[in-house]
Amino acid sequence: MRFLIIGGDAAGMSAASRVRRKRPDIDVTVLEMTRDVSYSACGMPYNIADGQRSIEELVVRQASVFRDKLGVDLRLGHRAEAIDREAKLVRGSEASGQGFDCGYDKLLIATGASPHIPNIPGLDAPGVMALKNLEQGRAIKEYLASRPVKRAVILGMGYIALEMAEALRARGLEVAMVKPRPELLPWMDRQLASTVYDELQAKRVEVHAGCEVQEIRQAGGSYEAVCSDRVLSADMLLVATGVRPNSRLAEEAGLELGPAGSIAVDRSMRTSDPDILSAGDCADAFHLVSGQRTWVPLALRANRSGRAAADAVAGQPVELPGVAGTAVFKTFELQVARTGLSLDEAAQCGFDPRGRVISAPSRAHAHPGSSTIQVFLLADAASGRLLGAQMVGREGVAHRINAVAVALQAGMSLAEFAQADLAYAPPFGPVWDPLLTAANQLLKAL
Ligand SMILES: Cc1cc2nc3c(=O)[nH]c(=O)nc-3n(C[C@H](O)[C@H](O)[C@H](O)COP(=O)(O)OP(=O)(O)OC[C@H]3O[C@@H](n4cnc5c(N)ncnc54)[C@H](O)[C@@H]3O)c2cc1C
């Protein structure tokens, strides 16, 4: 059997390795348009923060390992351009411009996502960067190393933008962030979002929320981001205004699409064509709380869905339950986490959501070094079901969110979650864990 994979990062290479391990009789070919495979995109902001570290450290497995140890026919510099479902082949071109055809019995589309670049005049200037793949990470590092860069403007205020604000401050740059919507992290409870805002202020990051950049002008060797009421000057600009699924190949081949234009897949990663699967950031998933199709482009899902696609191709399909949208990131000293639905999402899904914010200490009473954890917990007033959580704090947030993620997967009610037997010792939290305090407070409000 010929198994062809388009895209050689988390989802694609997870699938390639697993099929070769489980079914050495299956021929696996991977088409990857860049010269990189299998690297940690998530590590890029932290690597960029340190001018001494090589970005090549982020490569998890070299291409030679896939070729020599696993017997994967890995073709770098090969861009897939069209899928011919009748003839069961993929057409494309090599970096040299030469065209190629590649046949398949089973095809996996694992093309990931691309940065969304807004339609702003001047965004094609050389000092305007985006950060999605290793090539772009290298370009940012080279840019910072090769000239005096004193000030950066970041378009966008999502998690990659916030991680990069921290990274560029660590490199000694002044940083300004700008976006059209007035709210920082619009999915987040306002009280928690204002804690994130305060952290950015404390770290001297300028936040220009509610400002639409209308044009990027070049001024000598630097740039100006022109808004209606202000001009932000910079030596570099980073566009971090979200990502979009790379689903064009699937769409042009007539496959069904899901939310946000992602590729619609079932729980075994099959698309609307039984011989074509899709996994990772280009594909959709089922939400564990709403049961609806959703698009959550994150690393665990990419790896897990790549493995599931491999199992399907190897003849042992698994049914993935779905995603809760669990995510965590760091902005300077703050840990920020979420799982499940936000208040707006829950209302849109037909729930009657009630939320409560509580503040609790991160360590037991009188234990030194304690800070505040804010928890926003959300439940459905009609059924009592737990719907989601958000958390902000200087410690104890990143992994605490996982308890809620598991409760959501188990379909727990708020009352059941309030009875969870969570661990306690003074350095790690109070006897009543902040999550339990939040659950008990919300129970009173339901
Ligand atoms: C800066 C940054 C930080 C992140 N931090 C986190 C984090 O902390 N936690 C988390 O969960 N997630 C994080 N993510 C997201 C995570 O990296 C992605 O979810 C994951 O990489 C998705 O893997 P993928 O294989 O689906 O897609 P991708 O990694 O996008 O890989 C797709 C591959 O397909 C190739 N490709 C696309 N089109 C074609 C074509 N036509 N022909 C051939 N090849 C093609 C691309 O070149 C690419 O190599 C981060 C992402 C970035 C950019």
For residue 14, give the ligand 1 atom closest to its CA. 25
Query: CA-CA distance, 177 to 220, in Å (whole number)?
Result: 22
What pLDDT shows up at residue 36?
Answer: 94
Sole residue written with tokens 């339990």: 436
Closest residue (by CA) to atom 3 of ligand 1? 42
In angstroms, how far is CA 308 from the centroid of its own chain? 19
User: Do 269 and 305 contact (CB within 8 A), yes or no?
Assistant: yes
How far is ligand 1, taken at its centre, from the CA of residue 136, in Å? Answer: 12
Q: Is 24 helix (H, G, I), strand (E, B) or coil?
A: coil
What pLDDT shows up at residue 127?
Answer: 85
What pLDDT shows up at residue 220?
Answer: 82
For residue 133, give the ligand 1 atom closest to its CA. 53
Q: C-alpha angle 249/250/252, rounded to 5°?
A: 65
The pair phi, psi for residue 69, each rounded to 5°, is: -85, -35
**Test site for ligand 1: of 4, 5, 9, 296, most ligand atoms within 8 A of the Cβ:** 9
CA atoms within 13 A on the CB side of 78: 22
Q: Which amino acid is at 124?
A: D
User: Do 63 and 43 contact (CB within 8 A), yes or no?
Assistant: no
443 lines ligand 1 (CB under 6 A): no
167 lines ligand 1 (CB under 6 A): no
Residues of the chain with pLDDT under 50: none
Helix (H) or strand (E) holding 15: helix 10-22
Q: Which amino acid is at 113?
A: A
Helix (H) or strand (E) holding 408: helix 401-409
User: Do 169 and 251 contact (CB within 8 A), yes or no?
Assistant: no
What pLDDT shows up at residue 189?
Answer: 97
For residue 31, give the ligand 1 atom closest to its CA. 43
What pLDDT shows up at residue 126?
Answer: 83
250 lines ligand 1 (CB under 6 A): no
What pLDDT shows up at residue 100?
Answer: 97
Q: Which residue numbers are catalytic?
A: 42
What pLDDT shows up at residue 436?
Answer: 98
166 lines ligand 1 (CB under 6 A): no
How far is ligand 1, taken at its centre, from the CA of residue 291, in Å? Answer: 25
267 lines ligand 1 (CB under 6 A): no
Please list the alpha-helical segments (H only) found in 219-298. Answer: 248-252
What pLDDT shows up at residue 399?
Answer: 95
How far is ligand 1, taken at its centre, from the CA of residue 139, in Å? Answer: 17
Q: Which amino acid is at 405?
A: A
42 lines ligand 1 (CB under 6 A): yes
Sole residue written with tokens 């970096």: 95
Query: CA-CA distance, 49 to 372, in Å (whole number)?
Result: 27
How far is ligand 1, taken at its centre, from the CA of residue 64, in Å? Answer: 20
Q: Which amino acid is at 353?
A: P
Given phi > 0 = left and psi -120 to 50 = alpha, else beta, which region is 143? alpha
What pLDDT shows up at residue 408?
Answer: 98
Closest residue (by CA) to atom 26 of ligand 1? 280
